[in-house]
Structure 1
Amino acid sequence: MQWHHLLLNTGDISAGRVTAIRDDFTALFRSAGGPRTMALFRKDAHEGGVDLYFTPECSVHARRLIEECGATPCAPPALAGLELLVGHNEITYYLTT
């Protein structure tokens, strides 16, 4: 399993796409029972965009969402600057061990 990344531009943000993806992800997270290593992160991108990152566990419980929104496989992001949108607060501990 691997991380997935989605870059949203300012138009996507204005259209509420971050909120829609977060809400859909939250529903999937809850229905999966809140797995400890399932999380959605965001990071400010250049030119006003937003990077969204899905942890590897998301491939098990949120594959459909990952595919529908067009996220692509990626290397694990640097933890600096990441903001947890959905998941357990201790997720960074699990990601660094």
Structure 2
Amino acid sequence: MTWHRLTLTPEEVAAGKIAPIKDGFTSSFRAAGGPRAMALFQKGNEDGGADLFFTPDCGSFASDFLAEIGAVPCPGPALIGLDLLVGHNEITYYLTT
């Protein structure tokens, strides 16, 4: 299964673009019944931008949302340095087993 990523520029981060994406994802997460392995992570970039990472289960439960925001398939990121924005706290357990 494939992860998805959305890269935001420093200007987009400063303009508050993360909040509406988080809110939209939260709606998809709740509508799907809160799957254990469905999550949204954020990782800041050195330039002030950010990468938002969507776990593979998001492709099954929120594909329309991913397409709407322009998220693209990507390899799974290293979990170190990721901040969980939406999902279950034990998500790293489910992603590593």
TM-score (norm 2): 0.95
1:92 maps to 92
Q: Is the 8 A contact 2:13 2:48 kept in 1?
A: no
Greater shift after overlay, 12-21 or 75-84?
12-21
**Rounded Cα–Cα distance in structure 1 between residues aligned with 2:12 and 2:64:** 19
Aligned residues: 97
> 1:25 is aligned with what amino acid?
F
The answer to whether the aligner puts 1:45 opposite 2:45 as a matched pair is yes
Instruction: Map 1:19-30 onto structure 2 (within 5 A).
Output: 19-30=19-30
Give the % identical residues. 58
- Hey, which bits of structure 1, 4+ residues long, moved more than 3 A? none
Amino acid at match of 1:4: H
RMSD: 0.8
How many Å separate the matches in 2 of 1:10 and 1:79?
22
Query: Secondary structure at 2:26's aligned position in 1?
Result: helix
Unaligned 5+ segments in structure 2 are none
Looking at structure 2, the residues matched to 16 and 27 of structure 1 have their Cα atoms a distance apart, in angstroms, of: 18
| 1:66, distance to aligned residue in structure 2 (A) | 0.8
TM-score (norm 1): 0.95
